[in-house]
Amino acid sequence: MANPVILDGKKLAAEMEEELKVRVQRIKDKNGNVVPVLATILVGDDPASATYVKMKGNACLRVGLEPRKIVLPHTISTQELIDVIDKLNGDKNVFGILLQHPVPRQIDERLAFDRISLEKDVDGVTSLGFGKMSMGEKVFGSATPSGIMKLIEHYKIDCAGKNAVVVGRSAILGKPAAMMLLNKNATVTICHSQTKNLDEIIRSADIVVGAVGKPKMIRGEWIADGAIIIDAGFNPEQKCGDIDLQTCASRSFAYTPVPGGVGPMTIATLIEQSVISAQKFWQIL
Ligand code: NAP
């Protein structure tokens, strides 16, 4: 087989950032240098979550947005978290609100996500946003699957009629990825921890999306020749995803590297959606 195409999320994300810088500057020029804020809420001190929040803050700074990091103790109640979200909903300089997932067990994460106002839900986590996205309405989609779809579009991969298998069904990743692929006319199968014959199902896939969080669980012999491999999983210790690229990449038509594939696209999409939120408010579209 010919050498597979590398779906280079790092490169595309860097190109997106260059363009976003210009758009942010235009917002500032029109509004007396008012700097749009992306607020990130981190509950507790999980080191991986803290790293993700830091990376998102750095991306804000690179394009000229103001990152506002709110760190809350891990003992906080759902109501206390909701009070913080309500304040940010009402803050006219805040154009995006990100609640870093996961939150400690005592918190009702769904209730907290759903408190974020739809227009500030730049990470696409609310039930209302998910429903609207599923219906094909123009809303901010969940950042990781939206980033995946941008990468797919950038590389001119036509999803229509392709068998797409999404492994994982979380509300922020697997489910929205499946709906987005369906909206692009793929025939979609969603797999999860109770799925039987996972290897056989994956072997039938033209597009495989790893969205599990189990390092290298998808192996070469499961992958059909010429499949498109999208790996959203990330294991910070092993610095790898759900798909064993050593055995899978050479069989594929195209694949996302880990790191450098889906991760940078998630951040760039989050930032882009924050910029669009500010542009919409200031009517600079
Ligand atoms: P999650 O909420 O834990 O969901 C994991 C999903 O995988 C669940 O639906 C689970 O099924 C399924 N699963 C578990 N074991 C399985 C197995 N043996 N076979 C098939 N499915 C199985 O995780 P998440 O938040 O979606 O994250 C998944 C991965 O993506 C993690 O590595 C995370 O770090 C990564 N991630 C990356 C980005 C990025 O920016 N690149 C963003 C978000 C997440 P059940 O529903 O049946 O339990």
- Taking the C-alpha atoms of residue 216 and residue 219, their distance in angstroms, rounded to an integer, is 7
**What is the reported pLDDT for 32?**
86
Write the Ramachandran bin of 161: left for phi over 0, alpha for psi from -120 to 50, otherwise beta: left
In the numeric block, which tokens belong to residue 144? Answer: 């990781």
Q: Which atom of ligand 1 is nearest to the CA of 173?
A: 26
Catalytic residue among 8, 56, 150, 244: 56
In 3-state terms, what secondary structure has residue 210?
A: strand
Assess whether 214 carries a catalytic annotation: no
The residue among 16, 40, 20, 39 whose CA lies nearest residue 28 is: 20
**pTM summary value:** 0.97
201, 165 contact by CB (below 8 A):
yes
Ligand 1 centroid, distance to 139 Cα (angstroms): 23
Q: Is the CB of 52 under 6 A from ligand 1?
A: no
Residue 66 phi, psi dihedral angles, 5° rounding: -95, 120
Residue type, 61: L
Q: What is the mean pLDDT of each run of 10 residues along the chain (285 residues)?
A: 93 98 95 92 94 96 98 98 98 97 96 98 98 97 98 98 98 97 98 98 98 97 98 94 97 98 98 97 86
pLDDT of residue 33: 82
Both tokens assigned to 114 = 């759903």
